[in-house]
Copies of this chain bind each other. A is one copy, B any other.
């Protein structure tokens, strides 16, 4: 038997919409809809939400992600760090679909300039599960986030474009011929991480050699892919050394990308823990729902 559906959790990102019918903190049904922010006009969101939640009661909706950007449904302004981890919410005017809809605010940092939208909810989830966490959360993705957390506050953060740059080089540059179809060979990956950490500039100068070795020799795609990935993640670890060195690290993510970060950090002598994105997102949206109920 499932419990009563008393609210709806929504992770509404650029490329899709994930929804959970919630009974307290327990998801009783999950749905995925392909209508992400990038394909929608401001007037579309209400209809999409009504269609995507068909059959569920008209209970409050708590949404995080790019839905709150200036180009999204209803802008949820960035909250400045440092700030408490519990998400700040803004209402979508007019209670669309006859129920309250609240969007989680992203975070901003003014110096150095940085922004996030969506990850703050996962961090809130991490802190809901581990209120005493004092360390750094690493959220691998298109723009990987490194977030320093202490005393139940988000202190500061840093975004690195590794995921996006890897996608462009592996998918569209001349290296696409060399890396396509390859898994990632772990020893070659860790060797590239180590080289890039020790001598970042050398790896940059050697990217074209990945292609040339494929043309002149017989470089297996899983080695080529590992070298590209390891070089980029190695640069990122070199750039973020003050964030992870000597820190308690939790990686939020269970994908193959998160595993690469975990292996790379472990090779530097750290012992990162991992939590799943879905668990963290649901816990964060649940914390936001608690705030909504207490604040009205």
Q: Which residues of A contact B (CB under 8 A)?
A: 78, 108-110, 112-115, 143, 158-161, 164-165, 168-169, 172-175, 200-202, 204-209, 212-213, 215-217, 235-236, 238-241
Contact = CB atoms under 8 A, between A and B. Distances in A.
26 contacts: A110-B216, A112-B206, A112-B209, A113-B209, A113-B213, A113-B215, A113-B216, A114-B209, A114-B212, A115-B212, A143-B208, A158-B205, A159-B212, A160-B205, A160-B208, A161-B175, A161-B207, A165-B168, A168-B169, A168-B172, A200-B201, A201-B238, A205-B235, A205-B236, A205-B239, A205-B240
Please provide the 4 A-B residue pairs with the shortest distance between their CB atoms, ordered closest to farther: A205-B239, A201-B238, A113-B212, A159-B208
Contact of A204 (B112, B174, B208, B236): B236
Given A159-B212, A172-B168, A201 B239 contact: yes
A195 B208 CA distance: 23
Given A200-B204, A204-B235, A212-B115, A164 B160 contact: no
A172 to B, nearest CB: 6
Contacts of A200: 200-201, 204, 235, 238
Contacts of A115: 212, 215-216
Nearest to A208: B159
Q: Which of A112, A202, A217, A240 has the most CB of B within 10 A?
A: A112
